[in-house]
A and B are shown apart, each in its own frame.
Chain A
Amino acid sequence: MRTIVIRAALLSLASCARLFAAAPLPAEHLTVTSMPSDTQHRIYVLDEAFFNEIDARVHLFDGDTYRRLGQIDIGFTPAFNLSPDGKTSVAATTYFSRGSRGTRTDVVEFTDNTTLKATHEIVLPSKRAMTLPTIFTLGFSADSRFLYVSYVTPAASFGVLDPAKYAVIDEIDTAGCVLVIPSGPNRVSSICENGTLLTVTLDAQGHEASRAFSDVFFDADKDPIFAQGVPETNGYAFISFLGEVHEVDFSGAQPAIHKPWSLLAAADKAGHWRPGGYQVGAIQRHLNRLYVPMHQGGEGSHKDGGTEIWVFDLTSHQRVARWPLAAQNLSAVLAIQVSQDDAPLLFAADDRADLAVFDAVTGKLRHVEKQMGQTPWLILNN
């Protein structure tokens, strides 16, 4: 009995000693985290939230720290883009007055990327193109004077908006042609069903001054181009279902279409390799490289993600690397983006919603961020 009492006393003393030795935790203050400074490794990942589609959002993610920086809410089947200076996000979206039903309001919302607060909006006519996100559903003119938004009712047109006065300027009919590809201060091109580009030139007030069609450069029946473009130095590369690359220079008054080249050598064609996914290419301008998610498929496989990422030199048109993804425990890649700095990162979102970060020079996998939302289908950066 005496032993038990002594042990209990010693234990009690030990507990008291610990209490005396450890300082109490300080009181905390509830704060709001500020956005860190922008870097060239920041990306904006559009999650369509397809399984509850009125709730799309953009996740901001840092490719150096692998930190999720914050979120922008973007509603239902949204369009999304960044201002040329990267300081503002814009989303064209739709809200219903009772959440999932009720009066429809189409609107462009502006978010300050230094605070992630919504700052302004422009209410649109209820004509917004409700479709998969691409950079061609909403975009600024090069000088930020105008903002263009694609309309499909299904009659096709586009809206010209004033992002300084937050006002709708005009609607321009583009029958047979869809989407908005801004170039220069006052030109908007659209992709046409007959394989041409329609280019509308605006006057200083944002109204149509003239329009012209390009020559036919693709065949929508035999080998359609994806309805998206990969930004390059003076324009965009348009990739076709069968792997043709149509580079178009938009720096002049009218688009200049270069001779197409193929992603596929004879053996690749025999192996049924194809590009596919929801964002099917990224170009690193300094490296002069094009990255494309590739899979083995056939008719109807154009939305299948890549089981490999292939890397091409844009001058020689030769493949310089192929990076298999299964070995990295990645699923099929649906969207890719690359940074434009001297230590570039390649970002790839797969169909399990995981986001991979690669060294864009060596292909070395640096990080996999699990579950970047439900359905990350578009990645943007500055």
Chain B
Amino acid sequence: MRSIDRLFEKSSRALAQRTSRRSLLAALGQVLTGAALIPLLPIDRSARAGEAPATPANPKAKAAKAATDDPKSCDYWKYCAVDGFLCSCCGGSSNSCPPGTAPSPITWIGTCHNPGDDRDYIVSYNDCCGKVSCGNCECNRNEREKPMYRPSRNNDLNWCMANADSNYHCSVSVILGVAEK
């Protein structure tokens, strides 16, 4: 297991070295618990900059028309860039993988705005791995998501790629901390 951890650490560090490291660990340092789950990736602090979220143009690509507090709803504020199946509908929760699956140690980090307390939160989008895709509660939101040439902002990649069982099952969104404005 340790060798696997080292492998993940090596690949995460390699990725971080190739990408912008502005303001990387300032916030992460306060929340580095469960190191195996925390990827060493840059943080997008541009949460509220720029344009408003999209208006939904098709039923699959649900944008944040109403950020609800229901973790089984794609409109839940924490899911602002989840593209996959919600683990909350697959036996897990918004921050817990379903039984029998394994979290992806490498992943990407974004920022979502919680309208409940008007704060921006840094969230880690992890995939849960080792079983075939769950198929429930498909959610396709892409706020500030970038194409795969910017992997630290991309949700098209299967982040189970480095797991021993790299099959993709579902996605979670884990709060890492408050994004300082």
Stretch at the interface among A66-74, A221-229, A284-292: A221-229
* Residues of chain B from 8 to 30 with CB closer than 8 A to chain A in the complex: 11, 14-15, 18-19
Asked whether A220 and B150 contact (CB < 8 A) given A130-B157, A130-B158, A299-B52, the answer is yes
- B106: CB under 8 A from chain A? yes
Stretch at the interface among A9-17, A111-119, A152-160, A311-319: A152-160
Asked whether A220 and B146 contact (CB < 8 A) given A152-B151, A297-B54, A303-B61, the answer is yes
- A36: CB under 8 A from chain B? no
Bound CA–CA A141/B138 (angstroms):
37
Asked whether A154 and B165 contact (CB < 8 A) given A193-B18, A299-B52, the answer is no
1/0 contact string of A6-47 vs chain B (CB within 8 Å)? 000000000000000000000000000000000000000000
* Contact, CB under 8 Å: A304 / B149: no
Name A55's closest neighbour in chain B (CB-CB).
Answer: B132
Stretch at the interface among A79-87, A170-178, A247-255: A170-178
Bound CA–CA A303/B141 (angstroms):
9
Stretch at the interface among A94-102, A161-169, A262-270: A94-102
Asked whether A50 and B138 contact (CB < 8 A) given A152-B161, A153-B11, the answer is yes
Q: Which residues of B contact A51 (CB under 8 A)?
A: 133, 135, 138
Shortest B85–chain A CB gap in Å is 8
Asked whether A130 and B51 contact (CB < 8 A) given A53-B133, A101-B131, A220-B150, the answer is no
Shortest B65–chain A CB gap in Å is 11
Shortest A104–chain B CB gap in Å is 6
Q: Number of A interface residues, CB 8 Å?
A: 52
Shortest B107–chain A CB gap in Å is 10
Name 6 A/B residue pairs within 8 A (Cβ), A-sorted.
A52-B133, A76-B167, A154-B161, A192-B149, A300-B145, A305-B58
Q: Mark A residues whose CB is within 8 Å of B.
A: 50-54, 76-77, 94, 96, 100-102, 104, 129-132, 152-156, 175-179, 190-193, 220, 224-227, 276, 295-305, 307, 331-332, 351
* Residues of chain B from 31 to 72 with CB closer than 8 A to chain A in the complex: 50-61, 63
Q: Which residues of A contact B106 (CB under 8 A)?
A: 154
Q: Which residues of A contact B15 (CB under 8 A)?
A: 154-155
Q: Which residues of A contact B165 (CB under 8 A)?
A: 96, 101-102, 104
- B125: CB under 8 A from chain A? no
Q: Which residues of A contact B56 (CB under 8 A)?
A: 304
* Contact, CB under 8 Å: A224 / B147: yes
* Contact, CB under 8 Å: A332 / B57: yes
Q: Which residues of B contact A129 (CB under 8 A)?
A: 148, 157
* Contact, CB under 8 Å: A332 / B63: no
- B92: CB under 8 A from chain A? no
- B143: CB under 8 A from chain A? yes
Bound CA–CA A220/B158 (angstroms):
21
* Contact, CB under 8 Å: A298 / B52: yes
* Contact, CB under 8 Å: A300 / B53: yes
